[in-house]
Amino acid sequence: MISRPADNEYTPFYAVYISKVPDGDLLNFMELQPDEFNGLINDLTDERAIEPPAPGKWSVKQVLGHLCDTERIMGYRALRFARGDKTEIEGFEQDEYVVAAHSNARSTSELLAELKSVRGATLSLLESLTTAELERSGTANGKPISVRALAYVIAGHAQHHLGLLRKQLAG
């Protein structure tokens, strides 16, 4: 079981994401998240899935693409730090990634399948790590963060966007 990270394992910026993860089995929580997205989004029309909720906001498809990209990046950071790599990793500009991903041109089912696949890879990595590896840390985007905190950030980031999508689609 991956225990909740201590406050000194991550920068305050990530606290909002980590706080969205309930107590209990993190890996089980993460395993169930893709089905939550599927249940919420799978039956949307293509027109609704590419429509942003407001000017400058992301469409449902863009959010799904963003989740895939961000999880890959955070998972890569976790892998590097778990292996003891002390090389600082640069940040990324999420808005540029969303534009470059062309998610609105893809089907919702394809994006949901990708999210499930990316999550499967993340879970395989996290399940393979020892307690010592989970406690290792590195520097990403100029800030220190532990592997354990990255696992919680991945789950909390997805939960954050799930909540936003629920509000968006309810309106």
Domain borders along the chain are 7-170
pLDDT tens digits for 6-40?
Answer: 999 999 999 999 999 999 999 999 999 999 999 99
Choose among 68, 170, 84: nearest CA to 121: 68
The whole model's pTM is what?
Answer: 0.97
Q: Is the dihedral angle over the CA atoms 160, 63, 90, 28 positive or is it negative?
A: positive
pLDDT at 92 over 90: yes
pLDDT tens digits for 39-90?
Answer: 999 889 999 999 999 999 999 999 999 999 999 999 999 999 999 999 999 9
DSSP 142: T
| CATH superfamily of the domain spanning 7-170 | dinb family like domain (1.20.120.450)
